[in-house]
Structure 1
């Protein structure tokens, strides 16, 4: 039996057109981030935000959900389909890791609630604190979000957060982890976003503070990648991934 892991990265948002040639798509950023820590993984990208159909749950050993410029409470048809899909993953105990919008829509799917944050935008680098021995007590991460999870899902435990986002990292009672920040972002990319949206999407003061934080705080997402990789390895299952409830799936 092959020891490779089939990981599907679900694209919920698109890199801005003027930045994608330099920085790549969000699935490309994600696979570049976690790939060195999970060399046995084979990555496939699926884009529901672009109209692509979601796979059947057992087609892959695990899933990673990207961020997005959209809000989960918009409840567009592709978001509603993704919520149903996430509930299927929970029922079948297939591992999923969510990032930013992925963190939020997982919370919504599993009984929590995402809303616009009363504290406003979080952009730049931010110090996160953790309540698990599997991660350092403190480390900085890149953030770009206006929405937050305000109601924690009943089967989630908050294992990390920041002053701006106290519900920033969840561990679930089933195989699911999620983070509000962007471990896949580079300093160059978050800098480009802070500059691109300064004075339009982002108030000037928010962009200025973001650029200052990027210079001030050192961000290293390798530890987060190792944590996520260990999570996927720990939930590898020896079943036929193309069969569920006795019904074969096409390979």
Structure 2
């Protein structure tokens, strides 16, 4: 029997539709595709906790999944609006269900807050395009989440917020000059969460589609001098997505095989499936 995943979409309905218009899929739909590419035959359900009245799984429903994955989001968790509080509450239920869970960016932030950590704006500003020189901590070098990652690596990223206060039972696994918490394991109420602040699930095509909708931010915050510069940057990323052998573009933007090769870029998700989801499923099968 194939693996069953629940993909928890972090965005509100309007943001989901905007992403789908730009990229052809919502964040959760593209995340589900990544999971199905990693694990052929996987079944992925999608939940929308940002939506009022959404039909969310109860405790037994959460326990029935082999793994739960949280996507990114346009929201800021410190706003604590009802669409955010519902997601924090769902993550608390995920911990209590003890189902293996993983999250990217917003997913890590929700998991931290649900375990009584805190998230604030990064005083150094936004990390956009790529998180550079990600470096495993001593704990991270021995942790299965980062198995196969080199001593320093880059990954797709776009975020302004970061974990600023660690939950009580949290192990930081990687950081960089922009944020000291780029990967972590959090334990709460018998559940174990693995998460990253970057986006191993993003192809260069999806990253380009996101940044193309945010050219005003790229210019306003000084990443690009003009809107034309910003569009040229996103066009390069999209071209490199279509043809990963474009050495000229890879060289120009400092993008190496850790990003260009899908198996390497999605390393953390693959490790989660292999070392948490399959291991837990096997253990439950023996019980």
**TM-score in terms of structure 2 length:** 0.74
C-alpha RMSD of matched pairs (Å): 2.5
The equivalent of 1:238 in structure 2 is 284
The equivalent of 2:220 in structure 1 is 203
Does the CA-based 8 Å contact 1:23-1:189 persist in structure 2?
no
- Stretch moving more, 79-88 or 24-33: 79-88
Larger helix share, 1 or 2:
2
- Stretch moving more, 190-199 or 144-153: 190-199
**TM-score in terms of structure 1 length:** 0.84
Say which structure, 1 or 2, has more relative contact order (CA 8 Å, 6+ apart). 1
The equivalent of 2:249 in structure 1 is none
Question: What is the correspondence of 1:214-229 to structure 2 with a 5 Å cutoff?
Answer: 215-218=253-256, 219=259, 220=261, 221-229=265-273
Residue segments in structure 2 that go unaligned for 5+ positions in a row: 238-252
Q: Distance in 2 between matches of 1:117 and 1:68?
A: 16
Find the residue that maps to 1:50 and give its secondary structure. coil
Q: State yes or no: 1:99 paired with 2:104.
A: yes
The Cα of 1:156 is off from its aligned counterpart by 1.1
Find the residue that maps to 1:225 and give its secondary structure. helix
The equivalent of 1:57 in structure 2 is 59
Q: Distance in 1 between matches of 2:90 and 2:20?
A: 30
Q: Distance in 1 between matches of 2:141 and 2:24?
A: 32
Indicate how the Cα distance of structure 1 residues 96 and 18 shifts in structure 2: closer, same or farther if over 3 A, else same: closer
Deviations 1:175-230 (A, max 9, x none): 21111111121212222333331234762522469849962223142322321211
Aligned residues: 237
Pairing partner for 2:6 from 4, 8, 23: 8
Q: Which runs of 4+ in 1 moved over 6 A?
A: none
Indicate how the Cα distance of structure 1 residues 58 and 4 shifts in structure 2: closer, same or farther if over 3 A, else same: farther
Indicate how the Cα distance of structure 1 residues 166 and 18 shifts in structure 2: closer, same or farther if over 3 A, else same: closer
Question: What is the correspondence of 1:67-146 to structure 2 with a 5 Å cutoff?
Answer: 67-127=72-132, 128-130=134-136, 131-133=140-142, 134=144, 135=146, 136=149, 137-146=151-160
The equivalent of 2:36 in structure 1 is 35
Find the residue that maps to 1:91 and give its secondary structure. helix
Find the residue that maps to 2:223 and give its secondary structure. helix
Q: Distance in 2 between matches of 1:93 and 1:18?
A: 31
